[in-house]
Amino acid sequence: MTLRGMTEGSTVVPQETPFSRPDPKTEASVRAIGERLFELMDAHPAPGILSKKGAYARIMEWSMRDPAFKAQLFRFVDVLPSLESSSEIVRHLREYLGDKAVELSPAMRTGLAAASFAPAMVAGPVKANVTSMAGQFVAGATPDDLVKRLRQNASKGIATTIDLLGETVVSGPEADQFLRRNMEVLDTVAKALSRDPAPCFSDLGPKGPLPRLNLSVKVSALTPEVLPTDPEHSIVALKERLRPILRRSREIGGFVNFDMESYALKDLTLSLFRSILEEEEFRAGPQVGIALQAYLRDCESDLKELIAWARRAGRPIVVRLVKGAYWDFETTLAGQRGWPVPVWSQKPESDANYEKLTVLLLENADIVSPAFASHNVRSCAHAIAQADRLGVDPRAYEFQALYGMADELKGALVATGHRVREYCPVGDLLPGMAYLVRRLLENTSNEGFLRAKDAGGASREVLLANPVGLLAPGRGAAPAGGFRNAPNTDFTKEANRRRMREALGHAAARLGGRHPIVIAGRRISDREWVASTNPARTSQVVGYWARATVADADLAVAEARAAWPAWAARPADERAGILERAADLMEARRFELGALEVYEAGKPWIEADADISEAVDFCRYYAREMRALGKPRVTQQVPGERDIQLWTARGVGVAIAPWNFPLAILCGLVVAPLVAGNAVVMKPAEQTSVIAAELMAILTEAGVPPGVLAYLPGFGEDVGARLVGHAGVDFVAFTGSRQVGCRIWETAGRTLPGQANLKKVVCEMGGKNALIIDNDADLDEAIPAALYSAFGFSGQKCSALSRLIVLEGVHDRFVERFLEACRSLPVGDPALPGTVVGPVIDAEARDKILSLIEDGRRESRLAFQASLPAGLAESGTYVPPTVFTGVLPSHRIAREEIFGPVVAVMKARDLDEAFGIAMDVEYALTGGLFSRSPSALERAQREYRVGNLYLNRGITGAIVERHPFGGFGMSGGGTKAGGRGYLENFLFPRVVAENVLRRGFTPPPEDPS
Ligand SMILES: Cc1cc2nc3c(=O)[nH]c(=O)nc-3n(C[C@H](O)[C@H](O)[C@H](O)COP(=O)(O)OP(=O)(O)OC[C@H]3O[C@@H](n4cnc5c(N)ncnc54)[C@H](O)[C@@H]3O)c2cc1C
């Protein structure tokens, strides 16, 4: 086997690389040290992870041969701890491994088939096997197990760092418990160590004994209040929980290491590390360290800053250099969000960066003690060779390796006089499974060193090769073809947060502007001015809009009728180009528009920002679709006849939009018919007509001609009703309440004298969306997803979660954790970066929601209601997040759309009942299921009839083209905004058949595609 196509002895270095070319002298020394380590490893073979005997070895071998088996097996391992009965274990085993794509030996297939006849006989051994697999990577469940392991390690000259398993906390009590467990471990281990005599070999540094009690902590486990978009607040919350750990560690002479998790938490973790250590009480202790991930492109600059900080502060620290454990996650997430991928794309790049940073660390070993955490012999040999070259005392740095992995390497390093520390996870099986799956993935990774060494049969020369020679030239993330969504802003970056703060400042300074009606390019100001106010601070006027009259509506329709034929006659490409220009303008003004939404709609930062992205996407997506529709399509090829279908605009339309996606929905309702060649009268929601005025200005600047688009702010009762019933209107594009939607549908059905066409209505209404939680759901994922789906933007999305249907087996556990999690919801002013729940749109909405809450109190149990921070209720139109439990399908709060931060929790016996309840409403917009049963997921896909079904994720946040959006029932007419076919709603299809046969001669046929 070769590593990424390297042939033995090849050292071709690509022209452009940020890494230095190999230095022959150092390379020779790396090679010699590596060979020596291999010899020692061969002489004392610990059972290599892949050479372990028995079931584990066979399973791992199979996993590496069959990726489908591997995926299914690891998924089964992940769900196993949540399964309570033998029959459930067997059912899941069969569902995962019985998948057709999985190749099983005939014996395994027969065993699997027979398993359901005697579940207990199969489930027991399966659970025992997986538990024993976990036992290979988890040092035990209790502090006493840990003490035992510490002593075993010490007897081999190996030091230990302790990691308490438990990565996601969703509530304060969970975080408190995690803190208590950490304190307990510190105390138990400190007591045990005080009875042990001298430190072991690896606990002796260049200046004497090192802290023997070494604890690794993950910040995400310390508090549920970690919001990467609001690091300042998160750091305050994190410090509360970290201080006791640091204090106790200092008292007992311990050491605390900050582990590094996902990229979103990286800057926050670094800031936390520096700022807590700058606090007076921690200036002199305890001793501390932090992990940095060499697979990150910005790891080098982070390390340099950290070294400079340590020098400035005169604070010696340890840096644990790792490559990084979340490569697939980071790559996938960045791909989904359209963000730059933060990790290197080639494995040898991570290796080469690791080596580069190894040198940087060793050069600064006087202030930063290096800890090289790697199971890769080449990476370790390189560190030793560089330390020798730089004259760094071998005791001034250490190696670290995980419990249950690379045992022979640990032995070889100690034998060559190097300090080694083992990372020992302890804890329960449940969080242990997530950790186990990560280790299994690492051990079976195609790219990994361990697999190449133990299972791939790679030669030593290949295993010890300089990674720079393995870099493939020009391999980077190839831009994906097809439509690309506008990426949302990454608010974990301080530069972006600064831009948003500045934009909010500028917007605040310009509030109060006046926005006249615009018809055929004329601005009409001599009308009543209506104030649009900030729902978070109702005394603050965002702007004034001129209230259109019924006569204005008539004028706008007349101008539109005059303008549309010329507009429709322009080539589709030209109209598409105008939309693309509008998209560019919106992107350029993203922060400014976002800030305005914060003030006018009360949208929290990330929601406002996502609304701008969606508006941009609508413009670009519909432009692209129209370019395609603009070309005639050959319907069928027959000799001598040319048969084509083409599209023609309907005429004049009205777009009536809601306030909850004040730019995106309005923009989508306007630009789809526009690009199709229609003229549009835009009637925005009264609450967000200032943002609508910005859209008007942008579309005009992009090139939409006068008359083709009118800006007609006004009230639904008069202007809206007049437009819908107007004989000069050919279609209505509406999103809003069911009540208004149904009225529009009915009005449009009455054909008036002089009407040119039957009116078409594109109608999107509300929902009563449910999320089902299956017994085997991953609650660590389901709870945050439910929380955000229900309360993000105060539940004011048509897709928002309103009913949680929880299966009996998991109901109590889920509800307890969910209610606790609700307590950590940040409620406040949306102008602050960490706010998740802001105000509702206006007093009318607030009063309606509060009255529904009163009904809920009478019908069921009020299980949670947030208390609003002081002053909030007086300043704005806030409704506290509220949860009812024990809700029955007949209750009003289980049936009526609420459009606010209120959730009804219902219990279901089984999935049959759960699907029944979920669909027993008049709406069919969004819905979801959290389950780890493949058959349940398949069933949901088949039976759960909603427009947008989300499996194992939140149920809000549809993205253009990826999730075309819209429902049926009383949720809408079945159209899909942002999806294929949507533009056709605003077009008439036409067919042309032409006889092309001339005296027996016929031209060659056209391509039908
Ligand atoms: C003691 C200890 C503590 C640890 N603490 C942390 C921690 O705090 N945070 C953390 O994230 N990890 C941590 N890890 C996990 C660590 O990141 C992985 O174990 C490590 O990356 C494996 O690297 P290796 O040198 O042993 O193996 P190798 O096989 O040489 O490297 C594997 C690594 O290469 C990288 N990689 C894989 N494919 C690609 C690709 N296509 N392009 C670019 N890079 C790629 C990944 O980082 C992968 O893990 C720790 C590990 C140890 C031993």
- At 841-885, the pLDDT tens digits run 999 999 999 999 999 999 999 999 999 999 999 999 999 999 999
**Best probe residue, ligand 1, of 320, 322, 375, 378 (max atoms within 8 Å of C-beta):** 322
Question: Which of 430-439, 546-555, 565-574 is least confident?
Answer: 430-439
- Using the mean position of ligand 1's atoms as its centre, give its distance from the Cα of residue 235 in Å: 26
Alpha carbon nearest to ligand 1 atom 17, residue: 324
The single residue of 200, 380, 798, 822 carrying the catalytic annotation is 798
798: annotated active-site residue: yes
Residue 1: band (very low, low, confident or very high) from pLDDT cuts 50, 70, 90 = very low
Which pLDDT value is given to residue 476?
52
- Using the mean position of ligand 1's atoms as its centre, give its distance from the Cα of residue 326 in Å: 8
597: annotated active-site residue: no
Which pLDDT value is given to residue 455?
75
Q: Given the CA of residue 402, which atom of ligand 1 is nearest to it?
A: 53
Strand 522-524, strand 517-519: pairing: antiparallel
Per-residue pLDDT of 114-150, as tens digits, reads 887 888 888 888 888 888 888 888 998 888 899 999 9
Higher pLDDT, 604 or 15: 604
- Using the mean position of ligand 1's atoms as its centre, give its distance from the Cα of residue 261 in Å: 12
Closest by Cα among 855, 879, 857 to 868: 879
Cα 563 to Cα 579, 712, 752, 923: the distances in Å are 18, 16, 22, 38
Which pLDDT value is given to residue 686?
97
Q: Given the CA of residue 350, which atom of ligand 1 is nearest to it?
A: 44
Q: What predicted TM-score, i.e. pTM, was given to this entire model?
A: 0.93
- Judged against a pLDDT cut of 50, whether residue 8 lies above it is answered with no
- Judged against a pLDDT cut of 90, whether residue 333 lies above it is answered with yes
The single residue of 764, 820, 822, 897 carrying the catalytic annotation is 764
Which pLDDT value is given to residue 3?
41
- Judged against a pLDDT cut of 60, whether residue 194 lies above it is answered with yes
Closest by Cα among 821, 753, 763, 761 to 789: 821
Chain center to CA of 264? 10
Q: Identify which of 47-61, 789-803, 988-1002 has the greatest average pLDDT.
A: 789-803
Alpha carbon nearest to ligand 1 atom 25, residue: 374
SS (H, E, C) 378-393: HHHHHHHHHHHHHCCC
- Using the mean position of ligand 1's atoms as its centre, give its distance from the Cα of residue 257 in Å: 17
- Burial bucket for residue 468 (CB in 10 Å: 0-12, 13-18, 19+): buried
- Using the mean position of ligand 1's atoms as its centre, give its distance from the Cα of residue 324 in Å: 4
d(CA 190, CA 564): 81
Which pLDDT value is given to residue 717?
93
Percent of the chain with pLDDT over 90: 80
Alpha carbon nearest to ligand 1 atom 24, residue: 374
Q: For residue 223, what are its two tokens?
A: 């508090």
d(CA 465, CA 471): 11
- Judged against a pLDDT cut of 80, whether residue 241 lies above it is answered with yes
Q: For residue 65, what are its two tokens?
A: 């041969």
- Judged against a pLDDT cut of 50, whether residue 819 lies above it is answered with yes
Alpha carbon nearest to ligand 1 atom 32, residue: 448
- Judged against a pLDDT cut of 80, whether residue 811 lies above it is answered with yes
Mean pLDDT of 671-700: 98
- Using the mean position of ligand 1's atoms as its centre, give its distance from the Cα of residue 319 in Å: 15
Alpha carbon nearest to ligand 1 atom 3, residue: 373
Average per-residue pLDDT for the chain: 93
Closest by Cα among 744, 716, 715 to 731: 744
Which pLDDT value is given to residue 636?
93
Q: Given the CA of residue 326, which atom of ligand 1 is nearest to it?
A: 11
Is the Cβ–Cβ distance between 411 and 431 less than 8 Å?
Answer: no
Q: Given the CA of residue 259, which atom of ligand 1 is nearest to it?
A: 8
**Best probe residue, ligand 1, of 19, 297, 323, 397 (max atoms within 8 Å of C-beta):** 323
Q: Given the CA of residue 422, which atom of ligand 1 is nearest to it?
A: 1
- Using the mean position of ligand 1's atoms as its centre, give its distance from the Cα of residue 38 in Å: 20
In three-state secondary structure terms, 980 is coil
- Judged against a pLDDT cut of 60, whether residue 12 lies above it is answered with no
Mean pLDDT of 566-577: 98
Q: Given the CA of residue 378, which atom of ligand 1 is nearest to it?
A: 30
In this structure, the number of other CB atoms found within 10 A of the CB of residue 587 comes to 17
Ligand 1 residue neighbourhood (C-beta within 6 Å): 259-260, 291, 293, 295, 322-327, 343-347, 349-351, 373-376, 379, 400-402, 423, 442, 447-449
Residue 764: band (very low, low, confident or very high) from pLDDT cuts 50, 70, 90 = very high
- Judged against a pLDDT cut of 50, whether residue 7 lies above it is answered with no
- Judged against a pLDDT cut of 70, whether residue 249 lies above it is answered with yes
Q: Given the CA of residue 351, which atom of ligand 1 is nearest to it?
A: 30
Per-residue pLDDT of 37-81, as tens digits, reads 999 999 877 654 444 456 677 777 778 888 888 889 899 999 998
Alpha carbon nearest to ligand 1 atom 43, residue: 347
- Using the mean position of ligand 1's atoms as its centre, give its distance from the Cα of residue 373 in Å: 8
Q: Given the CA of residue 450, which atom of ligand 1 is nearest to it?
A: 29
- Using the mean position of ligand 1's atoms as its centre, give its distance from the Cα of residue 323 in Å: 4
**Best probe residue, ligand 1, of 255, 350, 435 (max atoms within 8 Å of C-beta):** 350
Q: Residue 68 — left, alpha, or beta (φ > 0 → left; ψ -120 to 50 → alpha)?
A: alpha
Angle formed at CA 407 by CA 403 and CA 410, multiple of 5 degrees: 100
Place of tokens 């502060």: 313
Q: For residue 452, what are its two tokens?
A: 């190449």
Q: Given the CA of residue 423, which atom of ligand 1 is nearest to it?
A: 1
Alpha carbon nearest to ligand 1 atom 37, residue: 347
Residue 478: band (very low, low, confident or very high) from pLDDT cuts 50, 70, 90 = low
Question: Which of 75-79, 296-300, 390-394, 540-544 is least confident?
Answer: 75-79
Q: Given the CA of residue 294, which atom of ligand 1 is nearest to it?
A: 47
Alpha carbon nearest to ligand 1 atom 9, residue: 260
Residue 555: band (very low, low, confident or very high) from pLDDT cuts 50, 70, 90 = very high
Residue 198: band (very low, low, confident or very high) from pLDDT cuts 50, 70, 90 = confident
Mean pLDDT of 84-109: 86
Q: Where are the beta strands (DSSP E) in 588-699?
A: 633-634, 641-649, 652-656, 679-683
- Judged against a pLDDT cut of 80, whether residue 464 lies above it is answered with yes
- Using the mean position of ligand 1's atoms as its centre, give its distance from the Cα of residue 322 in Å: 6
Higher pLDDT, 668 or 997: 668
Mean pLDDT of 439-454: 84
Strand 641-649, strand 652-656: pairing: unpaired
Alpha carbon nearest to ligand 1 atom 45, residue: 347
- Judged against a pLDDT cut of 80, whether residue 473 lies above it is answered with no
Query: DSSP secondary-structure letter at 925?
Result: S
Single-letter code of the amino acid located at 294 = A
Place of tokens 């539109």: 560
- Using the mean position of ligand 1's atoms as its centre, give its distance from the Cα of residue 880 in Å: 44
- Using the mean position of ligand 1's atoms as its centre, give its distance from the Cα of residue 141 in Å: 25
Alpha carbon nearest to ligand 1 atom 53, residue: 401
- Using the mean position of ligand 1's atoms as its centre, give its distance from the Cα of residue 196 in Å: 33
Higher pLDDT, 747 or 168: 747
Which pLDDT value is given to residue 4?
42
